[in-house]
Amino acid sequence: MIGSINSGTHLPILMKLVSMTDGPILEVGGGLHSTPFLHWACYFDKRKLVTYENNPKYFGLIKGYNNDFHKVVFVDNWDEMPIERHWDIAFIDHAPAERRKKEITRLANFTKYVVVHDTEERKENEYGLKEIYPLFKYRYDFTEIIPHTSVLSNFIDFKNPKWIQPLDQEKLWDSLAQKNAKKYIDATFGDDITEEQFRKHGKEEYTNHIALDKILTSRETIVDWGSGIGRLTEFMSNDFKKAIALDISQTMIEKGKQRLQKENVEFVKFDGWTVPIQNDSIDIVFAFLVFQHCKSRGMVEASYEEIYRILKKGGIFKVLMTNKERESLSRWWAGVSYSPEEINNIYKPIGFTLKKMEYFDAKRYWLWLQK
Ligand SMILES: C[S@@+](CC[C@H](N)C(=O)[O-])C[C@H]1O[C@@H](n2cnc3c(N)ncnc32)[C@H](O)[C@@H]1O
């Protein structure tokens, strides 16, 4: 669809996908960003590209691109498009809004990557896309810029680390750990935070969120998920038989090992996708100030699955989530957000049951999930 400058927020994804593939491309609904980009990207190889439009005004603006490799076709009715055939990429950006799920459904089993624009939660009433997500095995949401863009596939698994990550979570936290680990772990005291302030506040937070928590009754094995340099792990190790400090950043882990040398503490490096911990072996997983910084929904959701796998039956996952809508994920602290309803749709199918939910502040909430 043709619109304002924001109608080009799908371009990073389209550009990446065009460079990763070489097969035919379908564009449903032309645009002043997507149509010229796709046209010139296909130019040298004469790659097959078909654009359909049904608004005469928009068609008038893009029909000049029609040539031997790029067919720009006017359709009175979207049903007339003969699109049920193989495509490497199908870009869905047409009107009226309720039509999008129809075309996505038609393409689900023919297309390697179905790219859909305007997929943020607040537009759900308009597009109703939740209905068609179950038609796909895999989904990747690009949420760095609004409007969001999602990629759906029955053929390509976006959890594969080779798939694009909007910002590299591991590199980001390695660089923050090198700059000033304590400050980025606990932002309360600014640049010059002392070890004493860091420990004292860590002890207070451990006491409030773990020691005094009536749901967290076990004192056997706890995982400090996103442990940093062990601010809370230290106090866990005083009360628990075993504390596992797990983090995505190798630098955080190394600094943690120097700070905390105790027999019942184990440090584990996490690649963001799979955890080197056995099934059914953990009593509590605790994640504080971690997922609110995570840039990738795929990573959050893979973590929920891994946490379920490693917990013992009856074990508890206590996690702080955020539901703050953010304009951009480029700031170090920004992360993906989930409304309580959205997160319910993630943890329930995995098998978790909700024991309790409580607001921590205006934009963040605790969940206690039980396996
Ligand atoms: C703000 S610090 C909080 C550390 C600790 N939870 C605390 O409260 O002291 C966030 C930590 O999470 C780690 N982290 C970021 N994303 C992560 C992810 N997806 N999985 C595991 N750790 C992650 C970072 O490397 C960092 O050490």
Q: Whose CA is nearest to atom 11 of ligand 1?
A: 226
Q: Which residue has the higher pLDDT, 158 or 351?
A: 351
285 in ligand 1 pocket by Cβ < 6 Å? Answer: no
Average pLDDT of the chain to the nearest whole number: 93
pLDDT cut 90: percent of the chain above it? 80
Centre of ligand 1 to C-alpha 356, Å, is 23
The pLDDT tens digits for 179-194 are 999 999 999 999 999 9
Strand ranges of the sheet holding 311-322, from the earlier edge strand across to the other edge: 265-269, 242-247, 221-225, 282-287, 311-322, 364-370, 353-359
Q: Which atom of ligand 1 is nearest to the CA of 228?
A: 27
* pLDDT value of position 2: 43
Per-residue pLDDT band at 56 (split at 50, 70, 90):
very high
Mind spelling out the 3-state secondary structure of 139-153?
EEEECCCCCCEEEEE
| Cβ of 247 less than 6 Å from ligand 1 | yes
Two structure tokens written together for 196: 């004493």
CATH class given for the domain over 169-370:
alpha beta
The percentage of residues in the chain with a pLDDT greater than 70, rounded to a whole number, is 94
Position 1 confidence tier, pLDDT thresholds 50, 70, 90: very low
Among the listed residues 323, 302, 309, the one whose alpha carbon sits nearest the alpha carbon of residue 367: 323
Note the pLDDT of residue 143: 82
Q: What amino acid is encoded at 75 in this protein?
A: V
The per-residue pLDDT for 160 is 62
Q: Tell me the C-alpha distance between 168 and 249, whole Å.
A: 11
Domain 5-153 fold is: Rossmann fold (3.40.50)
307 lines ligand 1 (CB under 6 A): no
Task: State if residue 226 touches ligand 1 by the CB under 6 angstroms criterion.
Answer: yes
Residue 288 in contact with ligand 1 by CB distance below 6 A: yes
| 103 pLDDT tier (thresholds 50, 70, 90) | very high
Q: Do 118 and 148 contact (CB within 8 A), yes or no?
A: yes
Ligand 1 pocket: which of 173, 222, 310, 360 to mutate (most atoms within 8 A of CB): 173
Which two structure tokens, joined as six digits, stand for 313? 């039956």
Separation of CA 228 and ligand 1 centre (Å): 5
**Tens of pLDDT along 280-302?**
999 999 999 999 999 888 789 88
Span from the CA of 13 to the centroid of ligand 1 (angstroms) = 27
d(CA 26, CA 288): 43
Ligand 1: centre distance to CA 225 (Å): 7
pLDDT tens sequence across 123-164: 899 999 999 999 999 999 888 788 899 999 999 887 665 566
Confidence of residue 19 (pLDDT cuts 50, 70, 90): confident
User: pLDDT (tens digit, 9 = 90+) per residue, 41-51?
Assistant: 999 989 999 99
Q: Mean pLDDT over residues 319-340, rounded?
A: 82
Q: In what order do the strands lie in the sheet with 25-28?
A: 70-74, 49-53, 25-28, 87-92, 111-117, 149-153, 138-142
Distance 226 CA to ligand 1 centre (A): 3
Q: What is residue 332's predicted lDDT score, i.e. its pLDDT?
A: 84
What Cα–Cα distance (Å) separates residue 106 from each residue in 24, 29, 127, 163, 269? 16, 15, 16, 25, 42
Ligand 1 mutation pick, 290, 307, 320, max ligand atoms within 8 A of CB: 290
**Structural domain boundaries in the chain:** 5-153, 169-370
The most distant pair of C-alpha atoms in the chain lies apart, rounded to whole Å, by 72
Instruction: Determine the Cα–Cα distance for residues 296 and 169; give it in Å rounded to an integer.
Output: 8
Q: Would you list the DSSP string of 56-118?
A: HHHHHHHGGG-SSSEEEEE-SSGGG----S-EEEEEE--SSGGGHHHHHHHHTTTEEEEEEE-
CA distance linking residue 295 with residue 142, whole number of Å: 9
CA distances from 332 to 142, 175, 250, 254, 325 (A): 17, 10, 18, 21, 15
Residue 352 CA to ligand 1 center (angstroms) comes to 22
Q: Are 93 and 51 in contact (CB under 8 A)?
A: no
What's the CA gap between 32 and 64, in Å, rounded?
Answer: 12
Q: Is pTM, for the whole model, over 0.75?
A: no
* Distance from C-alpha of 332 to C-alpha of 10, rounded to nearest angstrom: 22
Q: pLDDT digits over 297-315, tens only?
A: 878 988 999 999 999 999 9
Residue 361, classed as helix, strand or coil, is coil
Distance in Å, CA 288 to ligand 1 centroid: 8
Determine whether the shortest distance from the Cβ of 315 to ligand 1 is under 6 A.
no
C-beta 289 within 6 A of ligand 1: yes
**Looking at ligand 1, which atom is closest to the CA of residue 224?**
6
pLDDT-based confidence at residue 345 (cuts at 50, 70, 90): very high
Can you spell out the DSSP letters for 295-346? Answer: --HHHHHHHHHHHHHHEEEEEEEEEEEE----S-S-STT------HHHHHHH
Residue closest to 75 by CA, chosen among 131, 17, 26, 111 = 26
Q: What is the pLDDT of residue 22?
A: 86
